[in-house]
Chain A
């Protein structure tokens, strides 16, 4: 059986639902020796800003149980070097590129997106409104629905490319944030970014991360991510979703699709195994073949929930 792996996230068409997450896949080119970049559904590149950014002083990372904390601070080469040095090579390799962007202010976000414009080598723009590791910008927008709405609305006219908004899980209600982003003009939602965490060296009584707190990623966050995907899918059934959070195996990919994601992004797992994303594309095709699933898109949002019981006092 030939399995149709293609998925459509609104106007964003991907050859398969396996993408890679921003901040864990560099500019894609670093992985060329481990993965056929053109075989992936998409590559979300390291978050780009209007000017190059140095990032935070070390220590920037530490391992935690089933995951890691990071506070890199959005170190990146800046949009100009990305467009002149990285993007042509990615395009040459047949990569489907998501340009992940951020800024300290609404004007900076808009400037980066305007610079990308309608560049045909970019498949979509992904707004990072959820980085917990910078003093300004990032999560400031992601935590406030009104600010998020205003930011997305301000950026929306700057490009005709599909606009993806990557949401922060560090909110009371993910659906409120999702609605604010969609009302502002988001075509697709990515969820989730990292969860704010803290790890302490008990000998020195210092935080293990220089920024004090960091973003938790890896398998530890997968159930939280999955729950948020499911909630947003229920509340906004027509809005396409990239599911992100601790995905390492084909079973994890399937969980996210069933919960309601249309595609997934592989994050921290690429640090552990640089070839994992390419392998998951093949394994997903094999799984569908073995299970008689002709179109992978048909799996999306097929969770069979049981009715929750009424209160049962004795």
Chain B
């Protein structure tokens, strides 16, 4: 069930000037949240930012023994910047968990899956990694970022999935292969690796390229899509993306996790 509750900030961890994690107290959202789902967070009760912002539930965890959940944030505007400025203990309104999660219930051993992260798109894949590990489903991570310092949560991914299953690509070559994340996934597929399903989250150009790769390889995908939204629960109809069926898909309720084949990437 979706709840609207005020949750205290347990801790804020800064990675660099633009990136941070916010840990919120669990409330009733943490236990209900599935990988790929999101929350709408009101960063303050002022008029700037005015609307809530959507964040993937990055992980369900504890902070000094207190149950909570984590949001991984890149500060890109007034809303995301405001979220990083709250003191620990500040209660903030949170609505969730929202949206359609990554489909994982149908996985069974010996299925093998891949996770593809681009930049801040790592967020929903942390909780997914945790749940896949609990289920004993082997998963390979392909994670691309601008440079090594922007590749976040590496210890968590390597703990859940095994370091040998985590591959990286950076624009400057400071970590892993120099190039794009879709290149290293493409190489793995060309080398004969196959996956039951590929889960991905990242920027639109990554999604577009990946959709083409998966289509060609005949591999099923599930993309955690992003779009600006005012409400998060299917009312404002602001967050739509064009579908292949000619309709517009409401990302907050039909997604955010949708197969790439649902979207008309030529119109995004």
| Chain B residues within 8 Å of A31, by CB | 235
A228 to B240 alpha-carbon distance, docked (Å): 33
What distance in Å separates the Cβ of A275 from its nearest Cβ neighbour in chain B? 6
Whether B237 is near chain A, meaning CB under 8 Å from some CB there, is yes
Whether A42 is near chain B, meaning CB under 8 Å from some CB there, is no
| Chain B residues within 8 Å of A219, by CB | 47, 50
Once the chains bind, are B235 and A63 in contact (CB under 8 Å)? Answer: no
| Chain B residues within 8 Å of A26, by CB | 234-235
B-facing residues in A54-78 (Cβ within 8 Å): 54-55, 57-68, 70, 72, 75
A271 to B95 alpha-carbon distance, docked (Å): 11
| Chain B residues within 8 Å of A274, by CB | 4, 95, 231, 233
Once the chains bind, are B1 and A33 in contact (CB under 8 Å)? Answer: yes
Once the chains bind, are A271 and B228 in contact (CB under 8 Å)? Answer: no
Once the chains bind, are B248 and A33 in contact (CB under 8 Å)? Answer: no
What distance in Å separates the Cβ of B249 from its nearest Cβ neighbour in chain A? 10
A63 to B2 alpha-carbon distance, docked (Å): 24
Whether B209 is near chain A, meaning CB under 8 Å from some CB there, is no
A64 to B47 alpha-carbon distance, docked (Å): 10
Most A CB contacts (10 A, CB to CB) among B50, B95, B227 go to: B50
A-facing residues in B155-194 (Cβ within 8 Å): none
Whether A256 is near chain B, meaning CB under 8 Å from some CB there, is no
Instruction: Report which of A54, A59, A60, A275 forms a contact with B4, defined as CB distance below 8 A.
Output: A275
Once the chains bind, are B227 and A58 in contact (CB under 8 Å)? Answer: yes
A168 to B233 alpha-carbon distance, docked (Å): 27
Given contacts A60-B240, A63-B51, contact A270 B4 (CB under 8 A): no
What distance in Å separates the Cβ of B199 from its nearest Cβ neighbour in chain A? 23
Instruction: Please name the residue on chain B nearest to A26 by beta carbon.
Output: B235
Once the chains bind, are B228 and A30 in contact (CB under 8 Å)? Answer: no
| Chain A residues within 8 Å of B51, by CB | 63, 68, 271-272
Once the chains bind, are B237 and A67 in contact (CB under 8 Å)? Answer: no
Whether B238 is near chain A, meaning CB under 8 Å from some CB there, is yes
Once the chains bind, are A61 and B238 in contact (CB under 8 Å)? Answer: yes
Instruction: Please name the residue on chain B nearest to A209 by beta carbon.
Output: B238
Whether B14 is near chain A, meaning CB under 8 Å from some CB there, is no
| Chain B residues within 8 Å of A34, by CB | 4
Once the chains bind, are A55 and B240 in contact (CB under 8 Å)? Answer: yes
A62 to B2 alpha-carbon distance, docked (Å): 24
A-facing residues in B210-238 (Cβ within 8 Å): 227-231, 233-238
A-facing residues in B20-51 (Cβ within 8 Å): 42, 47-51
Once the chains bind, are B4 and A70 in contact (CB under 8 Å)? Answer: no
Chain A interface secondary structure, helix, strand, loop or mixed? loop
B-facing residues in A23-56 (Cβ within 8 Å): 24-26, 30-31, 33-34, 54-55
Whether A310 is near chain B, meaning CB under 8 Å from some CB there, is no
| Chain B residues within 8 Å of A72, by CB | 236-238
Once the chains bind, are A75 and B50 in contact (CB under 8 Å)? Answer: no
A268 to B235 alpha-carbon distance, docked (Å): 11
| Chain B residues within 8 Å of A64, by CB | 50
Whether A203 is near chain B, meaning CB under 8 Å from some CB there, is no
Q: What is the 8 Å Cβ interface bit string for chain A, positions 267-291, against chain B (1 contact, 0 not)?
A: 0101111110000000000000000
A268 to B247 alpha-carbon distance, docked (Å): 25
Once the chains bind, are B238 and A60 in contact (CB under 8 Å)? Answer: yes
A64 to B230 alpha-carbon distance, docked (Å): 12
Whether A301 is near chain B, meaning CB under 8 Å from some CB there, is no
Besides the contacts A60-B240, A218-B50, A219-B47, what 14 more A-B pairs have beta carbons closer than 8 Å? A54-B247, A54-B248, A55-B237, A55-B248, A58-B227, A58-B238, A58-B240, A60-B239, A61-B230, A64-B50, A68-B230, A75-B240, A75-B248, A268-B230
Q: Name A residues whose Cβ lies closer than 8 Å to a Cβ of B.
A: 24-26, 30-31, 33-34, 54-55, 57-68, 70, 72, 75, 218-219, 268, 270-275
The 7 closest A-B pairs by CB, nearest first: A61-B238, A66-B47, A26-B235, A271-B230, A271-B231, A60-B238, A72-B237
Q: Could you write out 27 A-B pairs with CB less than 8 Å apart?
A: A24-B236, A25-B235, A26-B235, A33-B1, A58-B238, A58-B239, A58-B240, A58-B241, A58-B242, A58-B248, A60-B239, A61-B228, A63-B49, A63-B50, A68-B50, A72-B236, A75-B237, A218-B50, A219-B50, A268-B230, A270-B235, A271-B51, A271-B230, A271-B235, A271-B236, A273-B93, A274-B4
